[in-house]
Amino acid sequence: MAPRAACLLPLLLIASATVILVDATCGVVDTTSCDDNPATLCKDCDGPADKVPNPLDCSTYYMCKNSSNFIFDDPLSCPDGQIFNMNNSKCSPDAECQFSCGSTSEDGCFYTCNNDMDGMIADPFDCSVYHQCTGTSGTDPGPAQTCPADKPYFGGKECVADESACCHCRPYCYEGDQYKKVEDPTDCRKFFFCLENHEMPTIPGECKDGEHFDLHAGDCSNTAPCVTLCRNVVDGDGCIDPYTCQELGYFPKCKTQCLREYYHCVEVSDDYATPETCPNNLVFNPDTLTCIKNETCPYTHK
């Protein structure tokens, strides 16, 4: 019997060692932490080239050189529309983002009242309209109110004069949208990943070439038509991209910048216009709608 007992001892040691390895798995990190320090993310990795998640952006990941350093300082991107799955260290279109870091809208724009008696919500499609949350628990939007003429744009908390602060035409995660994809209202080729309900998502995705986002299916499809819910929306930089030609003529890509690119509409169309470029290093003046020398433009050239 003694030889049998001696044989069991190393097997027990191997089994216990295996348990230790499972408890410390490279790339599996605390989903409640927003720490993107390599000493935290790579602590259980031997490297080289072990992949670990980026808590601040689920569509990217880092590669560990060893247990305390990344190979590259910047995160690497998954293919368009995919999320990094830390359980198998692979990008996948079916993976779910398990982190909530950086997902909350920082500009205070909301489309739903979420138990906030003092809250204000924007109209999803009209930048001049807003609602005050009412009801016994602050869940009901009150009557529509319109911003005054001198400050015609609602920026989340108040009416302002800056159009780029508008809350309308943003992606939004309504009740039941958690862990789903929602459309980009300004571009039928793009979408966003929802991590929580009642917030504006910040993790973007893009359909493959030839595909559009299907509003009903909640995913990209090569048979879905291009449905742009909001056309020619000015973004936070004062620019419009994409642009659809609703009238003929020349139009700036950015209203308060001198760029080399501009839009030239020769026909009215719902298709996205391809920007044209000023020749000879000239820039487009958004006021005069002509190409001029950089030094004569009243705005910043980029």
Among residues 149, 175, 178, 155, the alpha carbon closest in space to that of 167 is found at: 155
Residue 169 lies in a domain: no
Asked if the structure places residue 109 within a domain, the reply is no
User: pLDDT tens digits for 206-236?
Assistant: 999 999 999 999 999 999 999 999 999 988 8
Asked whether residue 191 is domain-assigned, the answer is: no
CATH number, domain with residue 71: 2.170.140
Rounded to whole angstroms, what are the CA distances from 209 to 54, 221, 241? Answer: 26, 10, 18
Domain that holds residue 87: 33-101
Identify whether 14 is part of a domain. no
Q: Is the pLDDT of residue 293 over 60?
A: yes
Cβ-proximal residues to 134 (8 Å cutoff; 6+ apart), any chain: 113, 117, 140, 141, 142
pLDDT, tens digit (0-9, with 9 covering 90-100), for 146-177? 999 999 999 988 999 988 888 899 999 999 99
Count of domains in the chain?
2
End residue of a domain, out of 43, 74, 101: 101
User: Residue 255: inside a domain, yes or no?
Assistant: yes
Indicate whether 70 belongs to any domain.
yes
In a domain, residue 279? The reply is yes
Of 79, 101, 123, which residue constitutes the final position of a domain? 101
Task: Give the end of a domain, one of 70, 101, 132.
Answer: 101
Give the C-alpha distances (Å, rounded to integers) separating 234 from 14, 230, 257, 264. 62, 10, 13, 17
Whether 43 is in a domain gets the answer yes
